[in-house]
Structure 1
Amino acid sequence: MKTLITVANEDLRQLVFREEAVWRLERVTEVDFVELGDDLTVAQLADRIAGYEAVLTSWRSPKLTQQVLERADRLRFVGHAAGTVVPIVDPVIFDRDPETVVVNANSPLARSTAELVMALMMAGGWTLNRFADQMRRGVWRDVNQQTVIGLYGQTIGLIGYGEISREVIRLLQPFHATILLCSRNCPEEEAASLGVQLCGLEELLRRSTIVSLHNTLTEKTQGMIGREQLALMQDGALFVNTARGPIVQEQALLDELESGRLYAALDVFHAEPVQVDSPLLRLPNVVCTPHIGAMSRYWRGQLGETVIDELIRFVNGEPLQGRITREKFAFLTPQ
């Protein structure tokens, strides 16, 4: 078996495809690297891909278009050492006979993002940017601010259920929080085993002191959090978004924040990068980070490990842990 690993540069190769993991892979398949550079064309990849049964990709790898797949005469496995495979593979890949197996490394990225969620909950719940700004202005402490939300013992609402929210639930356990979950994708038995309470969106927004958004961006979820929904939140509550900016009606959120009624901790926005004159960046009750959910050094190092482990399982005829089916691909495709 022959495997082609495509990486943009040497730095990314060392970060994602570590030598130890590649050595394990070389026990079951012949491995070739191609350093793409940012200017590698789809046509060049098409010229290179013939004869390979597996291709491993990561950020900035060129898309496996129909043109490339037509030349991939022996391709049986694609492993994307990053998150969504939508920018990497053309849906025609699921029409091949036999169908090519597609996997990704979403689990490490989910854990990285969940860690950021906790950091934003802590930073927002403790209003760290407000205190830091006060100290820079020579104010030791605002005498009118006697307490902060914190995390311990709070009611925390999670909107959307997937790998990130599952990890957030696990990380929240030491804080003895009441965790509410709004999702049709979590059976009641599973919610009970996790120690969370299923409820509707309105109930979650009313009861929670901290609300964290985890839905996938689709036609149905775009703009689902608007003026009416935000008005249900308690005065002084914290809204955290590490999902996608357009799920929230940004002007409605900005109006609430400018009134001072709510706090927010945001890693995603409608337009990225955020312009330096955005009002979100000047509000003392808002923590903004530049879409850094996947930047954990440890978890990035697990991206290559994850897809290599999957390829080794594939070669050995063992069950895969994270296969992307045609149906899942269609669900993940942004609207």
Structure 2
Amino acid sequence: MTAEMPETLDVWLPFPAEEIDGLPDSFRYRHWDGEEDFPADPAACVFYVTPYMKSPAVTLRPLPQMPRLRVVQTLTAGVDHVLGGLGDLAPGVRLCNAKGVHDASTAELALTLVLASLRGIPGMVRGQDREEWRFGFYEALADKSVLIIGYGAVGAAIEDRLAPFECERIVRVARTARTTARGPVHALDELPQLLPAADVVILSTPLTEETRGLAGAEFLGRMKDGALLVNVARGPVVDTKSLLAEVESGRLRAALDVTDPEPLPSGHPLWHAPGVLITPHVGGSSSAFEPRAKRLVARQLRAFAAGEPVGNTVLITE
């Protein structure tokens, strides 16, 4: 343990500590998953694992009362929901994300949305409800050109799952250009040249000031007629008004695990827009989540207890 750590070493977990294998014995574990009452005095907490899929108001509520905090560990790949509370923290607090926890689950859903949309599965389900035999000609993923925007761990996992489907090509885009074993990764500023050739555009980028509203009128207008937009990133990466104009005209289709606003309220026109498939932000909410999240938490806490740098550090407060 490092010398500056306080005598009382509390760790707040959204899971009961007895359900997590490999936790170090150095800490007193407090179970808190966003309930009204805190499990103990927040002032004693040095490592806070945030509740999963709770509102920012819930997640951030204890932070102003945690003067000894050294690590905030989210259970999401994105950290946009906690950034608003960092001003309450002392300098030197590490914010860590859950990179690696959601890759497989989110990539599975991305592939599911692509296949379901291309093969007309939503219409077939409605037909089954009405006992209608909706035979027809549907699109295949084979021979399609797919553009993945946001080529981090999730984007790479999506490509892993696309690989057996005989796509004509898979094009990768990230914030900056680089080379990978699979081929080049293009920079975001190359999108105007890349979008017109894509049959399927998959968004898996984090929400930042650079990506907020990325898929706006100009972006969508460059997509080819009949193309499919898939969003497994964050709702505000897409400009909803611009998307509605494109899908209501029938020029584009969309498959959305995230929306803006979210949750999508009753009566919103996206619910019944033609060619739109909506799932309720369940990219990471699968049976793969909990065991991977618990392994991450145990690994991070072992490093912290040993005085070693914790992984997945996104930023350090100043």
Contact 1:206 1:234 in 2 (8 A): yes
Aligned with residue 249 of structure 2, among 223, 244, 259:
259
Query: Deviation at 1:287?
Result: 0.8
Query: Deviation at 1:281?
Result: 1.9
3-state secondary structure, aligned to 1:112: helix
Q: Which residue of 2 aligns with 1:286?
A: 276
3-state secondary structure, aligned to 1:151: coil
Q: Which residue of 1 aligns with 2:291?
A: 301
Q: CA-to-partner distance for each residue in 1:78-112, whole Å, 9 max, x for gaps?
A: 4334444555574358753xx34443323212432
3-state secondary structure, aligned to 1:324: strand
TM-score by length of 1: 0.77
Aligned with residue 196 of structure 2, among 195, 198, 206:
206
Where in structure 2 are the equivalents of 1:237-252 lying within 5 Å? 237-252=227-242
Note the residue ranges of structure 2 that are not aligned, 5 or more in a row.
Answer: 2-7
- Number of aligned positions between the proteins: 304
Query: Deviation at 1:196?
Result: 5.1
Q: CA-to-partner distance for each residue in 1:9-64, whole Å, 9 max, x for gaps?
A: xxx625xx56242xx214x42332244652136xx85x3432x5444333356537
Percent identity over paired residues: 29
3-state secondary structure, aligned to 2:101: helix
Aligned with residue 226 of structure 1, among 216, 231, 234:
216
Contact 2:15 2:31 in 1 (8 A): no
Matched, 1:104 2:67: no
Q: CA-to-partner distance for each residue in 1:177-222, whole Å, 9 max, x for gaps?
A: 21112333341x22xx123563721232211111111233333333
Note the residue ranges of structure 1 that are not aligned, 5 or more in a row.
Answer: 331-335
Point out the more displaced range, 80-89 or 281-290.
80-89
Distance 1:88 1:304, change over 3 A: farther
Q: Which residue of 1 aligns with 2:260?
A: 270
d(CA) in 2 for partners of 1:273, 1:295: 15
d(CA) in 2 for partners of 1:66, 1:281: 36
d(CA) in 2 for partners of 1:29, 1:116: 38
Distance 1:171 1:80, change over 3 A: same
Cα RMSD between the aligned structures? Answer: 3.1
Matched, 1:6 2:1: no
Aligned with residue 63 of structure 1, among 60, 77, 87:
60
Aligned with residue 25 of structure 1, among 19, 23, 39:
23
Point out the more displaced range, 244-253 or 30-39.
30-39
Where in structure 2 are the equivalents of 1:308-323 lying within 5 Å? 308-318=298-308, 320-323=310-313
Contact 1:257 1:264 in 2 (8 A): yes
TM-score by length of 2: 0.81
Aligned with residue 153 of structure 2, among 142, 160, 163:
163
Aligned with residue 184 of structure 1, among 175, 181, 184:
175
Q: Which residue of 1 aligns with 2:225?
A: 235
d(CA) in 2 for partners of 1:297, 1:18: 19
Q: Which residue of 1 aligns with 2:5?
A: none
Contact 1:121 1:265 in 2 (8 A): yes
3-state secondary structure, aligned to 1:261: coil
